Structure 1
Amino acid sequence: MTVADIKNTETLDGVAPLADTIRRACERLKPERMRADLEAFARRVKLSGTPEELESFRYLEGRLAGMGYECRLILHDAYISLPGPARLRVADLEPVCITHSFGCPAQGLQAVIVDVGAGTDEDFAAVDLTDKIALIDGIASPQLTDRANRAGAIGQIHVSPHEYRHEMCVSPVWGNPDPGKLERLPKTAVVTVSAEDGAHIRTTLQQYSGLTAVMDAEVDTRWRKTPLLTAEFMPEGASSDCPFVLFSGHHDTWFHGVMDNGSANATMLAVAEALLGEASSWKRGLRLAFWSGHSHGRYSGSAWYADTHFRELAARCVAHVNVDSTGGIGATVLADTPASSELRALADEAVAAQSGQRVWGARMMRVGDQSFWGIGVPSIFTGMSEQPSAGVNDGAASYAAGAEPRQGAGFGWWWHTEFDTIDKIDMGFLLRDTRVYCHALTRLLCSQTLPVDYHAWLDDFAAAVTSLQEQLAGRLDLAPVHEGVMCIRTALPGVPSDKLVIALSRALVPLDFTAGDRFVHDPALAAAPYQVLNPIRALAASPPDTDAARFAAVSARQALNRVVWMLEGAAASLGAGGAA
């Protein structure tokens, strides 16, 4: 697909085809300006809530204000965790190690080591970890920490897939914890060692029964003031309730973080400037948001913004475009870039037009600053380009990707390490990735009709329900769900207005990506598509005619009622002409 393949029948001002507008916007991108921005970002380590990070935020503010954007830089409270020095001793070994954000502080913590391999649920269930230290293969993650917590462990030693130790946040709590979520915070000390040192520990463990480890870990976890910058531009003559597109990325970093997330910030600035040249054609406004607390607060910035701007976002935000780690050296794979079902066609169009690749339809994952699903905002993109999969050490930066048929292997061996420096950026790839974002945002801002396809969403959801109905083997009738889907499909007009798309999104996006509560952020853990169906899945998985099945049926019926109610709300929004 090329830009010329875009519907040339759609015009922006009665004359100029949309394809021409996209081409002009992309041609305005300035690689030399992007390089200068990267050099500015490379000067500072930007830990959340630190003076150096705030200085870098002020650089962003100055750049955007100079373009003509209305900027607002605020400081808000966030629960931030900054790891300090760590030490590990196992027999006569003292391997170099790091600790992690939200791990528990420890001083002289001593306990028996238990090897749990890859750390699956089955691995944890097969051993007694009470008051012990788990030795686990792979990068530290909230999933593994959550399992260790539930297993009663008091420590974790993670073995990196290679020689590099990746900084990570291990909290499963999305955003700032409320009182009810404090118990979900990690209760274990956590360190990571290299693959070679992990092998030495395993060899020693095989030689000595009851081998113990001694762990020290400094972690500074407390409330801090963190910055958040928004920059907005509205079409001339726009009303106060004009819809807008949210374009966001985090600015805090591990170390200098020139790729993660300096390159993405350079992409944001370049696109923001290029799009202004077509502002006379905008049908919607653009709001950029730069978050802190992504790396050290488990998305505290975007979650806080969702909570404090809920009503405005619900009323006006048509889509969320997220950007992370663009333009890395060797990042040749764009096929895995994710989008929600209703924006999948736009993602494929933009990637194909600007890179020649096609996306296979990766589902949005519970990673990145995707804090707006409860509000009901459709989302497109997180990371864009990745290293090609070689089948070796692929877990280095794709730990959260699950078992999907991915073609890429994450963001590179330097990701979340001190080696994420400016030499890891390929300016040609950065321009390519930035063109994809420029393309998608031009479409979202300038198309007469939003490129949001809810027929595609209905197809995906109906397929999931049909598969589940087969698994149930008659134990629960899902016909009301199919009826709800058909009602929406029948009522959905071919050319929906912005107001109607917003109303339908508010009903269907929470059904797609949340456990059913629009106002609470679900845990930062891998989740099945359409979590609201999980109780019904549990019924399908339970043995028939057992007490387990009868208990499961109670939750399954309640989940069915919830899903049907959500679908009826979507249908009502169509019948009401899109009233919010």
Structure 2
Amino acid sequence: MDNIERIINEVNKEKVRETVEWLTHNTPYRLAGSYDEKFAAEYITDRMKQYGLEVFNQEFYTYNSNPVSSELEIISPIAIKMDSLPCAHIKSTSEEGEVFEVVYLKSGSYDDYKGIDVSGKMVLVEVSYSPPVPEKARIASSMKAAGIICMNWGNDEEVICNRGLKAVWGNPTQNTLEDIPDITGISITRKDGLKMKELCVSGQTVKIKVKAEASREWSKVHQPLGILHGNGKSEQFILVASHIDAWMPGVTCNATGNATNLEICRILAKHKDELDRDIYFVFWNGHEIAEASGSTWFVDNNWNLINDKCIGYINIDSTGVRETEIFEIKASDELIEFAERNANDSVEIDAIRAMALKKIGDQSFMGIGVPAVAQRMSYTQEVMDRNHGATLGWWNHTCEDGLDKYDIETLYKDTRVTLSLIWKLAQSHILPYNFKKKFESMEDRVMALAQKYGSDFELASLCNEVSEAGKAVELIQKRAFKITDAARIEDYNRFVMIVSRLTTNVFQTYSEKYQQDSYGYTKLSAMVPLLADLDTLNSLDKDSFEYGMVVTQLVKNKNRISDAMKQVKDFAYLYDKILRI
């Protein structure tokens, strides 16, 4: 039996099941700031203390919300009452309720608003990730809508999904507080949503009366952190995390993820003397309502440590979902081959779906540029299409996310494959980053934009800069296998960490590296987020005031990418000249 099989065979189904059931039975209402959240945090910190970790139950304040109640009634052209739930972080209505006209707006993206005036109205949107709900709300608010109604995905299931509308990623600042949508918001079943949609598209004026209440407040939350110290050969560490807060009862989101995290923690603690790197186990708080506040607080308050020492971030969310068939890997380009090899080496995995990781779901470390992996068993595309985009089951974020929605064999499989990944990453003397595909992808994207918009905006020079940076890095990586000296290995690892930090920031985010993009920000879906406004530029009159502003910002953004590529080339030159392999 080889080394990795020895480790992953220690995964214990009953211990994993015990964690899922304990959290579900004892702390079903784990929303940030609640008693159950505090109790769950104490349980997790106690478990990590038993395993011998250095443990902290961190406390901090987050900008939170308590969804209280809502009522919904269609008053015209028919009279009908519908069940609803209030969204979090909304503008509450008056106690008597308020009357609104409703406009159906499909997915609620910018394109869906073209030619439609929604000022003072409520928009009915279908829940999806294109864009995610907080971005739907931000767009609705920017279009002067008074509110938003979210109809659930899935099919005929009589369930209502809990939703949060706080578009600001993490805690707001004086500069971002106004970016939180100041609108009313409620959530309804898909069945009722389709009824309302039918009325809207029939050409009749649809009016509703809504009463909705939710608080907006700062509250103290708890975030367990356990540091597993390895054998001291390296000062670097791996960050492994899962979110602790959950909508009731929150089995697959995220009691199962916490069970995976704790089981990996338990096993690796027994083998700490074999770990060349430390591992930080964190259980994020403020994931749901506060939109990644815990992971954002962590990066803000540990910036230097993460920037200097963190080699990878493994985010564990919604493992063990029943009836899933494909192992889905979402990873930074430089780690995707490593993650695929790990999954392919597992006899448990029959099919793999690998894709580039996007900035969503506690991926709060892209500003620094820490490469990351998020993986789990997932549904086939056919199943997701049949459920109108429900990637985690129609029950996700509903009261139906109970113990019958997870499968212990699937959870066992997810835990073993992720344990294997972390073990290998902790043992890799030379960091397994491969930048070839990353630079090829970056160059292809810039080239495609140059071909489409080159007559309006010069991009040929940027294509060359990306290509030159990629070639400089590739020359060094091709010789990496020759390195045997420990000091030179350390220098090489530092070099590839620098490359990762420089490239991720300018190709996967829009905000400055010390800030966070709003949750699900539309520009992040562009081929190159910093150049997303090229499409806008193409549609503007070159003599217009707006054209001048857009092109000025594009030039600045292009310079930001160009500067990062120059730094990559400079570091490659210095590394190659001073530390020749």
TM norm. shorter chain > 0.5: yes
Q: Provide the residue aligned with 1:132 in structure 2.
A: 121
- Whether the 8 Å contact between 1:103 and 1:189 is mirrored in structure 2 is yes
Q: Provide the residue aligned with 1:338 in structure 2.
A: 330
- Whether the 8 Å contact between 1:350 and 1:439 is mirrored in structure 2 is yes
Q: Distance in 1 between matches of 2:144 and 2:550?
A: 27
Q: Provide the residue aligned with 2:146 in structure 1.
A: 154
Structure 1 residues 391 and 55 mapped into 2: Cα distance closer, same or farther (>3 Å)?
Answer: closer
Q: Distance in 1 between matches of 2:534 and 2:113?
A: 26
Question: After the TM superposition, which of the residue ranges 411-420 and 101-110 deviates more from structure 2?
Answer: 101-110
Question: 47, 59, 73: which is aligned to 2:43?
Answer: 59
- Give secondary structure in 1 for the equivalent of 2:82: coil
- Whether the 8 Å contact between 1:165 and 1:417 is mirrored in structure 2 is yes
Q: Provide the residue aligned with 1:178 in structure 2.
A: 173
Q: Provide the residue aligned with 2:484 in structure 1.
A: none
Q: Provide the residue aligned with 1:447 in structure 2.
A: 428
- Whether the 8 Å contact between 1:26 and 1:435 is mirrored in structure 2 is yes
Runs of at least 5 residues in structure 2 that lack an aligned partner in the other structure:
481-488
- Whether the 8 Å contact between 1:396 and 1:413 is mirrored in structure 2 is no
Question: 1:544: how far off?
Answer: 9.0
Letter in 1 for 2:496: V
Question: 1:357: how far off?
Answer: 4.1
Structure 1 residues 375 and 115 mapped into 2: Cα distance closer, same or farther (>3 Å)?
Answer: same
Q: Provide the residue aligned with 2:24 in structure 1.
A: 42
- Whether the 8 Å contact between 2:104 and 2:201 is mirrored in structure 1 is no
Letter in 2 for 1:556: L
- Give secondary structure in 2 for the equivalent of 1:68: coil
Q: Provide the residue aligned with 1:565 in structure 2.
A: 563
- Whether the 8 Å contact between 1:244 and 1:285 is mirrored in structure 2 is yes
When the two structures are superposed, what TM-score results if normalisation uses the length of structure 2? 0.88
C-alpha RMSD of the superposition: 2.5
Question: 491, 507, 526: which is aligned to 1:512?
Answer: 507
1:26 paired to 2:14: no
Question: After the TM superposition, which of the residue ranges 58-67 and 502-511 deviates more from structure 2?
Answer: 502-511
1:459 paired to 2:440: yes
- Give secondary structure in 2 for the equivalent of 1:346: helix
Runs of at least 5 residues in structure 1 that lack an aligned partner in the other structure:
1-18, 398-409
Letter in 1 for 2:59: L
Q: Distance in 1 between matches of 2:196 and 2:280?
A: 50
Question: 106, 114, 122: which is aligned to 2:93?
Answer: 106
Question: 1:207: how far off?
Answer: 7.5
1:430 paired to 2:411: yes
Question: After the TM superposition, which of the residue ranges 270-279 and 101-110 deviates more from structure 2?
Answer: 270-279
- Whether the 8 Å contact between 1:326 and 1:384 is mirrored in structure 2 is yes
Q: Distance in 1 between matches of 2:200 and 2:555?
A: 49
Question: 331, 351, 355: which is aligned to 1:362?
Answer: 355
- Whether the 8 Å contact between 2:439 and 2:466 is mirrored in structure 1 is no
Letter in 1 for 2:403: I
Letter in 2 for 1:281: E
Q: Provide the residue aligned with 2:532 in structure 1.
A: 534
Structure 1 residues 158 and 180 mapped into 2: Cα distance closer, same or farther (>3 Å)?
Answer: same
Question: 1:269: how far off?
Answer: 1.1
Question: 1:343: how far off?
Answer: 0.8
- Whether the 8 Å contact between 1:347 and 1:380 is mirrored in structure 2 is yes
Question: 1:198: how far off?
Answer: 2.3
Question: 117, 120, 130: which is aligned to 2:106?
Answer: 117
Q: Provide the residue aligned with 1:81 in structure 2.
A: 65
Q: Provide the residue aligned with 2:317 in structure 1.
A: 324
Deviations 1:481-503 (A, max 9, x none): 42354245324333263222222
Q: Provide the residue aligned with 1:218 in structure 2.
A: 213
- Give secondary structure in 1 for the equivalent of 2:242: strand
- Whether the 8 Å contact between 1:78 and 1:293 is mirrored in structure 2 is yes
Letter in 2 for 1:115: Y
Q: Provide the residue aligned with 2:485 in structure 1.
A: none
Letter in 1 for 2:81: E
Letter in 2 for 1:568: K
- Whether the 8 Å contact between 1:253 and 1:261 is mirrored in structure 2 is yes
Structure 1 residues 467 and 520 mapped into 2: Cα distance closer, same or farther (>3 Å)?
Answer: same
Question: Quick one: percent identity of the two aligned structures?
Answer: 23
Q: Distance in 2 between matches of 1:195 and 1:35?
A: 32
- Give secondary structure in 1 for the equivalent of 2:308: helix
Q: Provide the residue aligned with 2:55 in structure 1.
A: 71
Letter in 2 for 1:244: F
Q: Distance in 1 between matches of 2:160 and 2:116?
A: 26
Question: 1:388: how far off?
Answer: 5.2
- Give secondary structure in 2 for the equivalent of 1:76: strand
Structure 1 residues 387 and 295 mapped into 2: Cα distance closer, same or farther (>3 Å)?
Answer: farther
Question: 1:508: how far off?
Answer: 1.6
Q: Provide the residue aligned with 1:380 in structure 2.
A: 373
Question: 1:130: how far off?
Answer: 1.0
Structure 1 residues 117 and 185 mapped into 2: Cα distance closer, same or farther (>3 Å)?
Answer: same
Letter in 2 for 1:420: D
Question: 1:444: how far off?
Answer: 0.8
Q: Provide the residue aligned with 1:490 in structure 2.
A: 472
1:268 paired to 2:261: yes
Q: Distance in 1 between matches of 2:281 and 2:86?
A: 33
Structure 1 residues 447 and 238 mapped into 2: Cα distance closer, same or farther (>3 Å)?
Answer: closer
1:389 paired to 2:382: yes
Letter in 2 for 1:51: Y
- Whether the 8 Å contact between 2:231 and 2:276 is mirrored in structure 1 is no
Question: 237, 243, 248: which is aligned to 2:236?
Answer: 243
- Give secondary structure in 1 for the equivalent of 2:65: strand
Question: 1:515: how far off?
Answer: 1.4
Deviations 1:152-204 (A, max 9, x none): 11122222233321112222110011111112112211112222222333455
- Give secondary structure in 1 for the equivalent of 2:176: helix
- Give secondary structure in 1 for the equivalent of 2:117: coil
| Matched residue count | 545
Q: Distance in 2 between matches of 1:287 and 1:483?
A: 36
Q: Provide the residue aligned with 1:288 in structure 2.
A: 281
Question: After the TM superposition, which of the residue ranges 349-358 and 245-254 deviates more from structure 2?
Answer: 349-358
- Whether the 8 Å contact between 2:506 and 2:560 is mirrored in structure 1 is no
Question: After the TM superposition, which of the residue ranges 444-453 and 113-122 deviates more from structure 2?
Answer: 113-122
Q: Distance in 2 between matches of 1:237 and 1:390?
A: 46
